[in-house]
Every structure is written in C-alpha cells, then in structure tokens.
Amino acid sequence: MTKLIRFIASVFIAVFAVSALTACAPAAKDMSAYAAVIDVRTAEEWASGHLDGAVNIDIKSASFAAEIDQLDHAANYIVYCRSGNRAGQAIDYMKNAGFTGELINAGSVADASSMTGMKVVQ
C-alpha cells in the first residue's frame, strides 16, 4: 500500500511540475499588430540565421537612416539583433525620427523567435 501511495504521489508531482513549466512559457505575440520584424544585424550575421519573414536593415550600414525613414512612422515594429544592444540603438533612432507606434526590443535572434513564434532560417 505504501508503494502505491508513493507512486501516486510521484505521478501527481510530475504532472504538476510539467504543467507549471508549460504555464511559464511565454505566449507568442499577435504578429498582426506589427508592420514588420526588423533585424538590425550585418548581412553576414543575417546570413548565419534570421527570423523567417523579418527584414534586414543593418544599423551599421550607411543606408540605415534612409531605409528606416521609409517605414510607416505610425506602425508598430519589433526589432532584434545579436544581444539587444543594437536593437535598442535602432529604437532610439526611430523614436528620435518621430516614430509613434509601439517599438519593441526583442533582444537576440533566439529571444525574438520565442517572442514572435517565428522560426529561425538561413
């Protein structure tokens, strides 16, 4: 009888632990609210893997400002890079350029993939 109680308790604990971990997983954003997901890394970084459907606007490129300025300033955007640093710089530029929509720093490629539900492709 004691073995049966231990077994039932173990199963209960395992089920509870798995359901608790699943509940902690972040839900992907509703992408219909965003005009684009922007990868601000270099072309070489982009080629090593990027989010499927993202656009590459290299923050280090001489054409960065011109490419960003062509975007709808009232739309919402998700921006990512390798660590979130350049994405933050790009968002600062966008705010200073008059963008009024929601601008989200999604951090790294992996973080952005988790946030958006978009797959990493090459």
pLDDT band, very low/low/confident/very high, at 85 (cuts 50, 70, 90): very high
Question: Which residue has 């929601």 as its token pair?
Answer: 102
Element (H, E) at 85: helix 85-96
Tell me how far apart the alpha carbons of residues 86 and 26 are, in angstroms, rounded to a whole number: 23
pLDDT, position 13: 46
Q: Which fold has domain 31-121?
A: Oxidized Rhodanese; domain 1 (3.40.250)
Q: Which of 108, 107, 99, 109 is nearest to 68 (CA)?
A: 99
pLDDT tens, 49-68?
A: 999 999 999 999 999 999 99
pLDDT band, very low/low/confident/very high, at 6 (cuts 50, 70, 90): low
